[in-house]
């Protein structure tokens, strides 16, 4: 059963976080990489909510339990997590969100960003991806970051 684009407000968030962390651990082990304590902590901060956070918000939240990480450290961690598909950058918000969908690296990612609650959903569309890849190829263009961001109102906010 495919995961919904926007998780229900009352979803089992503990399970959601545990699954994402287990996936990160397994992926790092498979790639002979380490999910170091600071990498894990930054990922945990992003998994606390399904809303994008800026780097300094991540630093502030990570510091709540102890030492405040240096900005350069957090940016390096974010680069690592992005490189491994564990975190996405929301360009329009200059912020980051944990990836809770296990999609292949390089897949077209469509972010649906709710203007009311701030939640971000990831929608997959093979048809859109195929059309865009074809258009890029026809133009002799090699996309580096295949991402689409769409702002609007999620179904949970519309129903409220």
Residue ranges of the chain assigned to CATH 1.10.10.10: 10-98
CATH 3.40.50.300 fits 103-160, yes or no: no
- 8 Å CB contact between 103 and 124: yes
- 146: tokens are 């295949």
* pLDDT tens per residue across all 160 residues of the chain: 556 777 777 788 888 899 999 999 999 999 999 999 999 999 999 999 889 999 999 999 999 878 899 999 999 999 999 999 899 999 999 999 998 776 655 567 789 999 999 999 888 777 788 888 889 999 999 887 777 899 999 988 998 8
- 8 Å CB contact between 112 and 121: yes
Q: For residue 99, which of 82, 112, 115 has the smallest C-alpha distance?
A: 82
Q: For residue 89, which of 37, 125, 46 has the smallest C-alpha distance?
A: 46
Domain covering 10-98: architecture: Orthogonal Bundle (1.10)
- 8 Å CB contact between 46 and 88: no
Check residue 128 and give its pLDDT. Answer: 82
Element of type H or E holding 98? strand 95-98
Residue ranges of the chain assigned to CATH 3.30.1490.190: 103-160
Strand order in the sheet with 109-114: 120-123, 109-114, 147-152
The predicted model scores a pTM of 0.85
Bridging pattern class, strands 109-114 and 87-90: unpaired
């Amino acid at each position: 059963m495919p995961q919904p684009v926007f998780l229900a407000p009352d979803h089992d968030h503990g399970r959601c976080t545990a699954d994402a962390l287990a996936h990160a651990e397994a992926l790092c082990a498979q790639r002979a990489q380490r999910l170091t304590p600071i990498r894990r902590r930054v990922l945990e901060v992003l998994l606390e909510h399904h809303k994008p956070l800026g780097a300094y918000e991540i630093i502030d939240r990570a510091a709540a339990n102890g030492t405040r990480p240096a900005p350069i450290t957090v940016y390096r961690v974010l680069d690592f997590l992005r490189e491994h598909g564990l975190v996405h950058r929301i360009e329009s918000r200059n912020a980051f969100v944990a990836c809770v969908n296990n999609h292949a690296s390089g897949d077209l990612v469509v972010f649906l960003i709710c203007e009311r609650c701030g939640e971000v959903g990831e929608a997959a569309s093979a048809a859109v991806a195929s059309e865009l890849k074809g258009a890029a190829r026809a133009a002799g263009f090699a996309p580096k970051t295949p991402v689409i961001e769409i702002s609007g109102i999620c179904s949970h906010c519309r129903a409220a």
